A = this chain, B = another copy of it.
């Protein structure tokens, strides 16, 4: 298919997963990601894959654990409350070093909250909502096309590092339709000699597990994990710069918010404001180095989130006090308009470079 089609974000993720060779989907309905499950219900049957509606999110993530442990490319998806329920399972997957993809099309919280778009699960996704020292690779696309490309990338990274990868979207990205170029069918063929497949001639049983009862063994395991996380943080950072050369004010935004920021920046540039956008694409590993670099040239950073301020902590950690870091956020499904962000830019300038 080299022709663009108009596709819903949720469905595009599904199609991308299938293109990436994922044949095992386990999920549970929840707005605003349900279309992904529904799409998989239809498509998996066509490609001889497994779509299984689990009895709960807890069951779904543990099915993923099983399927990943058995050596398959596998995924689950949900939205905020459902992702919270998966935290024990995610910690197990990280501990047992199983590759899988977890999609969070997040919505307003806390609690039942609402079903509108939100970016308030950043902490949960990047710092580990589950227990213990572990990291998910977290990718935050900002268009339906990126949902496709990065879902495929997610499967590759998962296999490469034997690590869970989260694709973090929001209700708007999941629900919107945009033109998208679907990839050709990709055959995944990463060998997984560690997987539980039955001995099949192998003499040593493969064991999938995260228990290390002896403290120094668990410490060694953790050091191994930390080494892996370090490697990932060196090799897999993704970000996008837009007009950052000579920008005085750098807006930092990811996902849906970055699009609004970009529109506002276009407008502001026309009006002579030197504003740029730094968009982290991997939220973990966070693109620390580019911040260090831009902190030399920029005068200030303005972080923009659909939250009370979560990624802004990583921005502050990255900028490390070199330059002021401001924050503007909306919550509960409210999405700022271009005008509103433009207003924030003007405010910065009219305060003489302070917010």
Residues of A within 8 A of B (CB): 58, 80-85, 87-88, 91-96, 106, 108-116, 118, 120-121, 123-124, 127-134, 209-223, 225-226, 307-308, 310, 313, 316-317, 319-322, 330-334
Q: Would A210 and B88 be within 8 Å (CB), given that A133-B308, A220-B332, A316-B317 are in contact? A: no
Given contacts A85-B85, A108-B218, A124-B131, could you give 8 more A-B pairs where the C-beta distance is less than 8 Å?
A: A58-B58, A85-B88, A87-B124, A112-B211, A120-B132, A215-B333, A219-B334, A222-B332
Q: Would A130 and B134 be within 8 Å (CB), given that A88-B81, A215-B108, A320-B316 are in contact? A: no
A112 touches B308 (CB 8 A): no
Q: Would A124 and B128 be within 8 Å (CB), given that A84-B87, A331-B218, A333-B219 are in contact? A: yes
A332 touches B83 (CB 8 A): no
By a CB distance below 8 angstroms, the chain B residues around A331 are 133, 218-219, 222-223
B114 touches A92 (CB 8 A): no
A-B interface, 8 closest residue pairs, ranked by CB to CB distance from nearest: A109-B132, A95-B111, A321-B321, A111-B210, A218-B332, A110-B132, A215-B333, A80-B131
B84 touches A113 (CB 8 A): no
A227 to chain B, nearest CB (A): 11
A129 touches B84 (CB 8 A): yes
A129 touches B219 (CB 8 A): no
By a CB distance below 8 angstroms, the chain B residues around A128 are 110, 123-124, 129
By a CB distance below 8 angstroms, the chain B residues around A221 are 332
A110 touches B84 (CB 8 A): no
B134 touches A110 (CB 8 A): yes
Q: List 8 A-B contacts (CB under 8 A).
A: A58-B85, A84-B87, A92-B110, A95-B112, A112-B209, A123-B127, A221-B332, A317-B317
Instruction: Closest B residue to A316 by CB, please name it.
Output: B317
Q: Would A130 and B124 be within 8 Å (CB), given that A88-B81, A91-B110, A95-B110 are in contact? A: yes
